[in-house]
Amino acid sequence: MGSRANGAVYRTDLRTGKGGVLFEGATGTASIGLKLDHDGLLYLAGGAGGTARIVDSRSGRLKSTYQLTDSTATFVNDVILLGDRAWLTDSRNAVLYGVPRGRGGEVRSLPLGGDWVQTPDVNNANGIVETPDGRGLIVVKSTPGELYHVDIKTGEAKKIALKGQADVANGDGLLRIGRTLYVVQNRQNLISVWDLDAKVTTATLKRTITDPRFDVPTTAARWGDRLYLVNARFTSPQTPETTFNGVAVPA
């Protein structure tokens, strides 16, 4: 779990709920989206700081920091690992950032085009996952609540037609298992579950998942037959005394 307050990362045992701080972070930083690779490297989306950071999940040591943009109007929100890059969304700019994995290399800025229309002064691109064939990306646009299939070569974004529900308003974290796409809709306190067609042009609603313990969940990860979600509690006072938790529900 990442902290918006200081960029710290907290690691929890799913069996016991016990945990501790893995990465201390620093004042003025944030850790929003997180992804762990098979080599134990943890990629962190840096929010309003406009950064991507890479942390060794075994030692908690910061290995690399990439300044993705110098814009003051930025919110680097989520990250997915695909091939030789980590791809990150920017909720305030119509661009994806491709951070090299492994030894060095330059950050790639990929402007979003095609059907993508950036809405000013609200969160746009948010959660991100790879397509089932591993050749493209799926991005959720939180406002007004749309899904897009993005070509990672050109940045062309094609709107995915939704069947069975008008939108995915407040869409936040995405999780894909095969051709099943889970969309965490934070302030709706639900997960909508979709069937993707083979070409990722349409998504058909299968069902929704909700739980009275949800308190503005923002992202989901899967282990076994359960989904684990983080409650961001955006509707609660954000003070040093505010408590936070995770919730597990059947997948």
What residues does 171 pair with on adjacent strands?
185
Range of 43's domain?
1-105
Residue with tokens 């609603």: 205
Domain boundary pick from 85, 105, 125: 105
Whether residues 140 and 78 share a domain: the answer is no
The token duo for 175 is: 């999780």
- Total number of domains in the chain: 2
DSSP string, 93-134: SSEEEEEEPSS--PPEEEE-EET--PPTTS--EEEEEE-TTS
Q: What is the pTM of this model?
A: 0.97
Do 119 and 46 belong together in one domain? no
For residue 157, what are the CA distances in angstroms to 61, 81, 241? 36, 19, 42
Span 34-92, pLDDT tens digits: 999 999 999 999 999 999 999 999 999 999 999 999 999 999 999 999 999 999 999 99
Based on the domain organization, do 54 and 146 belong to the same domain?
no
Among 204, 250, 212, which Cα is nearest to 231's? 212
Size of the chain, expressed as the number of residues it contains: 251
Residues 117 and 232 in one domain: yes
- Domain holding 47: CATH number? 2.40.10.480
Instruction: Tell me the two tokens of residue 76.
Output: 């680097």
User: pLDDT digits over 190-242, tens only?
Assistant: 999 999 999 999 999 999 999 999 999 999 999 999 999 999 999 999 888 99
Q: How far is CA 202 from the centre of its chain?
A: 21
| CATH label of the domain that carries residue 150 | 2.130.10.10
